[in-house]
Amino acid sequence: MTTYYSEDHEWINVESGVGTVGITDYAQNALGDIVFVEVPEVGDELAKGDEVAVVESVKAASEIYSPVTGEITAVNEDLEDNASLVNSSAGGDGWFFKISISDDSELEGLMDADGYKTFTAGLE
């Protein structure tokens, strides 16, 4: 199981060709108190970079883009009533969706944990 990170502040945790996707702790901290997450529907087919979800904080809406091409296989239903899970557990219970990965080579363009740490340090 390997976790990759995108420059759009998503993480994707890959296991047996399926990626679980959420936003990073850095992202939830920047967005502030999250009040609503619009997740995709199971069966949605997405290309890498497509808008796949929307995160609403008190002050603004932010789009989330799919880090890979594939089909949605599951979404986190718990976010419907408890969007603040993204604040309290961005890398865990606050996951957004699972996606079957069509092209493993797309993962190569993503960062590992150390790379992402360096990337966010450069944003400060």
Partner 1 sequence: MSVENSDLLKTPLYSLHESLGGKMVPFAGYLMPVQYPLGVMGEHNHTREKAGLFDVSHMGQVVISGENADQWLETLVPGNIIDLKQNRIRYTMFTDDNGGILDDLMITRRENDIFMVVNAGCKAEDIAHMRATMPDHLELTELNDRALVALQGPLAAEVLARFTSGADEMDFMSYGEVEICGAKCFISRCGYTGEDGHEISILAANAEEVCNALLGEPEVEAIGLGARDSLRLEAGLCLYGHDITTKTSPIEGALQWSIGKRRREQGGFPGADKILGQLASGDIARKRVGILPAGRAPAREGTEILDAGDNVIGVITSGGFGPTFGAPIAMGYVDLKYSAAETPIFLQVRKKKLEAKVANMPFVAQNYYRKPK
**Quick check: 33 binds partner 1 (CB under 8 A)?**
yes
Site string for partner 1, 91-110 (x = CB under 8 A): --------------------
Site string for partner 1, 55-94 (x = CB under 8 A): -xxxxxx------------------xx-x-----------
**Quick check: 123 binds partner 1 (CB under 8 A)?**
no
Query: Residue 75, Cα to own-chain centre: how many angstroms?
Result: 11
Q: Give the one residue of 38, 44, 50, 93 binding partner 1; rule: CB under 8 A.
A: 38
- Residue 16: which residues within 8 A CB-CB, separation 6 or more? none
Q: Which two tokens stand for residue 123?
A: 């944003």
Burial 85-100 (b: 16+ CB within 10 A, else e): bbbeebeeebbbbbbb
**Quick check: 8 binds partner 1 (CB under 8 A)?**
no
* Residue 54 main-chain phi, psi, to 5 deg: -130, 135
Q: How far apart are CA 56 and CA 93, in angstroms?
A: 17
**Residue closer to partner 1, measured from CB, 81 or 108:** 81
**Quick check: 35 binds partner 1 (CB under 8 A)?**
yes
Work out how close the CB of 109 gets to partner 1 at its nearest, in angstroms, rounded to a whole number.
Answer: 27
